Each structure stands twice: as structure tokens, then as C-alpha cells.
Amino acid sequence: MSELSAKVIAGDPRSIGRLITLVENDAPEAVEAMKQIHRYTGQAQIIGVTGVMGSGKSSLIFELALVFRAEGKKVGIIAIDPTSPFSGGALLGDRIRMMDLSTDSGVFIRSMGTRGMMGGLTSALYDVVEILDAAGMNVIIIETVGVGQDEVDIVKIADTTLVVLIPGLGDSVQTIKAGLMEIADIFVVNKADKPGVEQTVAELESMLDLVGHTEYRTPIVATSVKEKKGIQLLTSKIAEHQEYLKKSKTFDTRRRQRYEAELIEIIRKRLMDFIFDEKKLKKTVDCCIDQISKKELDPYTAADEILGKILK
């Protein structure tokens, strides 16, 4: 095992950061390390947090992190394309507490951008989750803004997905539109210090009624980071969902789905890398052009042979 892998497994923050950077830069050493650390993964609880922009996802994550830290758990936080950095959007009094978190060795925080990573974010995200897991984080929390494809991906990775909304008109309609309804394991109505919470909760309840009776009914938790309300209830709902996953065997199913999605992602990425490497591609097909010209080989058979070689 490489020194880097060993240090990552030992939980060394600098090495964790370095390996993540290698992964993001698509460095060959990253693949070696990823191979080595896989067998040290599988212990972490993975929580996805998605939802409306500015709904307080980062603020909530910090509150959750504090609770998990108080329970003695190590926490990894991944923020994808954060529009407001953790420190920037914080409620005034919380900034100091957040500083405490960022200097706490039991917490590892990392932001990941989608820009400049052609099709690479998802596969890099799987890697980062594996890295934090292998590094001994007991809980890994991933924040994404719930627009577009991202929230669908988070569902493939997370054990428990929180969808964060805020009181006010049209939120629940937005939820159905964005397909967030299906992905929520827990609905959070944050900023419950603002008017209209009851109505938003009621709307969500009646939407859930429409879904009908299921073994697991998505709980709705009203929280206020500002007034420090509902956080404990939220953590207990997360724990209940974990229990449900384990009892109903859904946990194993989800983990299998995650590995399936991860494997497909790696294969997709490798193929893409190959296809977009114009020079390499040209060189690979070069050998057959003569034969095709002389009618010794047809293009389809040639393609089969080349693909066979690539995929071997």
C-alpha cells in the first residue's frame, strides 16, 4: 500500500485533502489509491441534503454536524457547487461556532465544483465519499442544490436524503416538478421562524397522502436554525430512517445500487476519456484503415475488434 493510502486510512486530514485533489485532477496515482482503500470503506452513514437554493442547507448541515460531533462521531461534509460558502451565509452568531467546526479535527469539509469537470463530477464524488469513508468518517453529509440532475445523483449515493424547503407559496408545487418528492426520505421545512410553516407542512402531508399507504412514510420536520428548533427531532428522524433501512433490508439494496451506479460511472468515464482523446483514438483506428480500403475488412468488424481491445 502507498504511503498516501495508509495515511488516508489513518485519517490524516492533509492526506485526505491531497487524495481528493488527485481525484479531481484525474491523476493516475488517484486510481491506485482508490483501489487500495476500497476495502476499508463501508462504515460511514451517508446523508444527502438537497433542496431549494438558500433554504438553509449549509446552516442545517452545521447544526447536524454539531450534534454528531457531540455523539463522538467524525463527520465529513461535501458541498457541491456551493453558491454561498459555509462561512458566508451563516447566521451571525453561528459563525464562531462554525469556526470551531472547521478547526475541529473530527470534521472534514470539502467543496467541489462542477465547472471544468466534464462529466467527471459524479465519478469524483463517488471517490470522495469512498475516501472520507475509508478515512474513518462516521457520517458523511453531501450538500447539493436541488436543480437538474444533481439531486438524482445524490439519491444514488446517500443512504438518507433530506429535501429542504422553506415556508411560502409554491414550494410544494416546485417539489413535485423537480421530482424531489420521490427522492425525499425526510422533508425538512426550514426557516420555521417565518410565517406559513403550517401551510407548507399541510401541503406536503396531503401530497404524501396522495402517494398512499407505504411501509415508510416520509416524515416532515419543521426546523429553524435561527431559533435552534427542530434539530434534535431531525436527527432522531434520520436515525429512525437508518433503522428502517437496516430492518427492511433496503440498506443493502441501496448500497448495491450505489456500487452499481459507481461502477457504471467509472466505465462511462473511462470510455469518455478514450473517445475524447482524439489522438489516441486516431492511432487506434489507424491500423485498420488500409485493410478496410483493400476490402479485407469491413468497418463494423473493425470497430468490433477495436472495441474488444479497448474493453479488454
Binding stretches for ligand GTP (CB under 6 A): 53-59, 82-84, 89-91, 145, 190-191, 193-194, 224-226
Nearer to ligand GTP by Cβ, of 18 and 194: the residue is 194
Shortest gap between Cβ of 54 and ligand GTP (angstroms)? 4
Nearer to Mg ion by Cβ, of 150 and 262: the residue is 150
Mark the segment that binds Mg ion (CB under 5 A) among 53-61, 122-130, 257-265, 287-295.
53-61
C-beta of residue 187 within 8 angstroms of C-beta of residue 218: yes
Shortest gap between Cβ of 62 and ligand GTP (angstroms)? 8
Nearer to ligand GTP by Cβ, of 11 and 54: the residue is 54
Interface with Mg ion, residue 55, by CB under 5 A: no
Nearer to ligand GTP by Cβ, of 8 and 166: the residue is 166
Nearer to ligand GTP by Cβ, of 89 and 106: the residue is 89
Kindly give the pairing relationship between strand 45-51 and strand 160-165: parallel
**Partner whose footprint covers residue 69, from Mg ion, ligand GTP, none (CB < 5 to 8 Å by kind):** none
**Position with the least CB separation from ligand GTP:** 89
**Partner whose footprint covers residue 56, from ligand GTP, Mg ion, none (CB < 5 to 8 Å by kind):** ligand GTP
Contact letters for Mg ion, residues 57-96 (x by CB under 5 A)? xx-----------------------x--------------
Nearer to ligand GTP by Cβ, of 191 and 254: the residue is 191
Mark the segment that binds Mg ion (CB under 5 A) among 49-57, 186-194, 219-227, 295-303.
49-57
Shortest gap between Cβ of 239 and ligand GTP (angstroms)? 21
Shortest gap between Cβ of 86 and Mg ion (angstroms)? 7
Shortest gap between Cβ of 50 and Mg ion (angstroms)? 10
CA 294 to centroid of chain Cα atoms = 52
Torsion of CA 81, 78, 54, 68, to 10 degrees: 180
Shortest gap between Cβ of 68 and Mg ion (angstroms)? 18
Shortest gap between Cβ of 214 and ligand GTP (angstroms)? 28
Kindly give the pairing relationship between strand 186-189 and strand 160-165: parallel
Nearer to Mg ion by Cβ, of 129 and 145: the residue is 145
Integer-rounded Cα radius of gyration of the chain: 22
Give the interface with Mg ion as residue ranges (CB under 5 A): 57-58, 82
